[in-house]
Structure 1
Amino acid sequence: MKTTRKCRALTSVGLNFFALLFSITAFITTYWCVGTQRVPKPKCSRLRTHQCIDYGVNETDPNKVVYSWETGDDRFLFRQFHTGIWFSCEENINDERKEACDGDGEECRSFIDLAPASAKGILWLSLVSEMLYIILLMVGFSLMCLELVHSSNVIDGLKLNAFAAVFTVLSGLLGMVAHMMYTQVFQATVSLGPADWRPYNWDYGWSFCMAWASFTCCMGASVTTLNSYTKTVIEFRHKRKTFEQSIREEQAREAFGYFRERSVHSISKSVDDYAGQTPKSSRKSPVPALSSSPDLSDTTGSLGEEQC
């Protein structure tokens, strides 16, 4: 039982560790949502010669895109962006040095500033819930590690197990609420956010998937911890019931043996007493033959006289 309980405790610690690692990684990264934005092309310059717009007509330079009223999409290009809880980063298409050096420059803006005023309260609640989620995961992980240290003391281990299960379940609930609130805020920002930021198309990124993987590991750790606590309590109750039943059976056997010995002893004592009292009673009963001898002689005498 001790080995099985330790294996369950190690499983809970491992799941909680991965939940904590995934949650911290998702919290500090900016790939919750990724996509493209449709933005106007920058104006051509001496350093920027392609993917730009020149308002003059120059048919000899193929790198310069001439705006045409028939194909209005030639004025726009699509840039990649990725957004997290704290920041939203997109390609910096206005940096001419980037264009000259073929670099991958990005510019980031605070996602809190991008969110509409009606959704900022929900975003702050999401941030607070995410931080509480991580803190409670840390507390649960610490309690599970302490349970491994106190594995020799079953009672202390059960207490730590119960508290760890409670903190882990609470953290999982907070994490789920935080993820759902962030999704709601991002969708509101897509519809009501600044015009120069609104995405043309978007999807959830690997940070968002990691956040939900953290929630899954957290709930797995809480279920494993509760299962370990329940199994240990049931095993103890079963052992206690078996022990009490064996004690009652032993007491019943001892009581049966005691009464049997008493009854055998009393029966043997009664037999001994009866055997000792039997000769005395035989002496007390008189023999009537000796006392009736005079009467017989008188009777014979009278009979002789009558015959004469």
Structure 2
Amino acid sequence: MDRAQRQRAMALLPICLALAFSLTAVGSSHWCEGTRRVAKPLCQDHPGELHCLLFIRNSSSRKRDHRSQAVQYIWETGDDKFIQRRFHVGLWQSCEESLSSTGEKCRSFQSVIPAEEQGVLWLSITAEVLNILLILTSTILLGSRMSYHSSGFHWLKVDASVAILMVLAGLLGMVAHMMYATIFQISVSLGPEDWRPQTWDYGWSYCLAWSSFALCMAVSVMAMSRYTAARLEFTEKQRLQRGSQHSQHNLPETEASERV
């Protein structure tokens, strides 16, 4: 592998990383993570569980036929009556820990956000998909650039196209990430009571999405620098070739004039 091919391979590496980061972020559900404060259930309704409320029923009330008249004495008071359940949210679903098992209980994130914000969510998802398609197109173009060894102005256009596509991909990704963050913050305030988190922060998927944006902008700058340098080199070679052809064309005329 010569120097030019190594440079093309190094240029292809960050684009592949940006594509992998975007695909992982869009498919995961860890854009935001946090905890929810949930009241403990009664141990009578959930036997065998660790996180439940212990109570004692009044002995005089046991003789009554109506269970609703029984008096319950709860041992736990204050914050002891609540537990913290971890949750994580992505573009597609929201998952939280389940009390009855070690697994998670998931539901659609679209069912959590307010109805007037669902259109913004779909715009964010569309921008993320377009971002992935633009990065994939740039990867294919640079891959074809590495497959062929010919040179010329045609391949300079490939670098220019990659620079433009990566700028568009980065801008679309930035807008999509900001729209999602806004939607989530609105849902924290106006979402359903059984979903609103007590504490939350951005997760690793959100960090991957912004890392993909940074790589897109870096690749765009590098591609434009390569295009500018190669364009100047190509123009200089053409000028030298025209100069050599012009000198060779004038050489026979000079000899003929000397003979005369």
Equivalent runs, 1:85-96 vs 2, <5 Å: 85-93=91-99, 95=100
**Structure 2: gaps spanning 5 or more residues:** 59-72
CA distance in 1 between counterparts of 2:15 and 2:57 reads: 63
Decide whether the 8 Å contact of 1:51 with 1:65 is kept in 2: no
Residue matched to 2:233 = 235
CA distance in 1 between counterparts of 2:3 and 2:235 reads: 17
| Aligned counterpart for 1:83 among listed residues 86, 89, 92 | 89
Q: Deviations over 1:37-96 (max 9, x none)?
A: 1111111136234321134379xxxxx97133xxx2122111100111101100112x2x
Residue matched to 1:13 = 12
CA distance in 1 between counterparts of 2:149 and 2:236 reads: 20
Residue matched to 1:274 = none
TM-score by structure 2 length? 0.84
Residue matched to 2:42 = 43
* Residue identity in the other structure for 1:116: P
Decide whether the 8 Å contact of 2:87 with 2:94 is kept in 1: yes
CA distance in 2 between counterparts of 1:122 and 1:105 reads: 31
CA distance in 1 between counterparts of 2:123 and 2:117 reads: 10
Residue matched to 2:181 = 183
Higher RCO structure (Cα 8 Å, ≥6 apart): 2
CA distance in 2 between counterparts of 1:241 and 1:8 reads: 26
**Structure 1: gaps spanning 5 or more residues:** 59-63, 99-103, 266-308
Alignment partner of 1:53: what SS?
coil
* Residue identity in the other structure for 2:30: Y
CA distance in 1 between counterparts of 2:55 and 2:74 reads: 9
CA distance in 2 between counterparts of 1:50 and 1:57 reads: 20
Select the structure of larger CA radius of gyration. 1
* Residue identity in the other structure for 2:19: L
* Residue identity in the other structure for 1:91: E
Equivalent runs, 1:109-120 vs 2, <5 Å: 109-120=107-118
Match status 1:54 vs 2:60: no
Q: Deviations over 1:235-279 (max 9, x none)?
A: 1112223334455566677666655x26xx5xxxxxxxxxxxxxx
CA distance in 1 between counterparts of 2:223 and 2:74 reads: 63
- Per mean C-alpha deviation after superposition, the further-off stretch among 135-144 and 41-50 is 41-50
* Residue identity in the other structure for 1:66: W
TM-score by structure 1 length? 0.72
Equivalent runs, 1:1-308 vs 2, <5 Å: 3-45=2-44, 47-56=47-56, 66-68=75-77, 72-93=78-99, 95=100, 98=101, 104-247=102-245, 259=257, 261=258
* Residue identity in the other structure for 2:140: S
Once the two structures are aligned, what percentage of the paired residues are identical? 41
